[in-house]
């Protein structure tokens, strides 16, 4: 499978998952699901920008990734600080888990398959996939602890540590995409 095709599949999968969260936001009146929806729609926009391979696309994706990282970081801290993690209704948590495992698998496959491609475009595609997978993992952690956790003392520090790690990685990768000299 070509890198472009993989990027297209990730684009449409992310759009679908974003729209699913949008429906959950409307149905449940949830700001958390609305934010998750916006995150995946904007992440899909970064993939669309990369597919066009226009000059400056990597930098544009970096700025966009930095913006959505800041928004998700703020929303995550808000949800964690107020202990208002999103509880997924019904079987939607299984869909979230399936998407998360799909995202992690595809990001890992990209890292292994295209590790020798040195062009900024392919590195940006890998960064976006890996960042999206890590954010999905953080969202899933919150959802699982909200659904099945018992509110034990270790849960909140673990969630804050995960959020901090994902936020720092995402911000660092976005900045790398912005300052990369040979960016497409």
pLDDT in tens, 115-157: 676 677 778 888 888 998 998 898 888 888 877 877 778 888 8
Classify residue 100: in a domain, yes or no.
yes
Domain that holds residue 60: 3-179
Positions of the chain with pLDDT under 70: 1, 82-86, 114-115, 117-118, 181-184
Q: Give the total number of structural domains in the chain.
A: 1
Of the candidates 117, 121, 159, which has an alpha carbon nearest to the alpha carbon of residue 138? 159
Supply the pTM of this predicted model: 0.83
Classify residue 148: in a domain, yes or no.
yes
- DSSP alpha helices (H): ranges in the chain? 3-28, 31-52, 57-81, 92-113, 120-148, 155-179
Classify residue 184: in a domain, yes or no.
no
């Amino acid at each position: 499978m070509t890198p472009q095709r993989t990027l297209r599949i990730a684009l449409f999968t992310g759009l679908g998952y974003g729209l699913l969260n949008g429906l959950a936001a409307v149905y449940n009146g949830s700001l958390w699901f609305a934010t998750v929806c916006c995150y995946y729609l904007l992440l899909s926009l970064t993939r669309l920008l990369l597919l066009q391979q226009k000059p400056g696309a990597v930098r544009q994706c970096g700025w966009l990734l930095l913006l959505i990282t800041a928004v998700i970081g703020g929303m995550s801290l808000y949800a964690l600080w107020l202990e208002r993690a999103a509880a997924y209704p019904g079987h939607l948590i299984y869909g979230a888990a399936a998407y998360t495992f799909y995202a992690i698998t595809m990001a890992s496959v990209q890292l292994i398959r295209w590790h020798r491609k040195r062009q900024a475009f392919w590195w940006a595609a890998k960064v976006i996939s890996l960042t999206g997978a890590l954010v999905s993992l953080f969202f899933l952690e919150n959802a699982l602890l909200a659904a099945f956790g018992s509110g034990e003392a270790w849960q909140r520090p673990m969630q804050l540590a995960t959020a901090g790690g994902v936020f720092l990685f995402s911000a660092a990768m976005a900045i790398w995409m912005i300052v990369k000299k040979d960016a497409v």
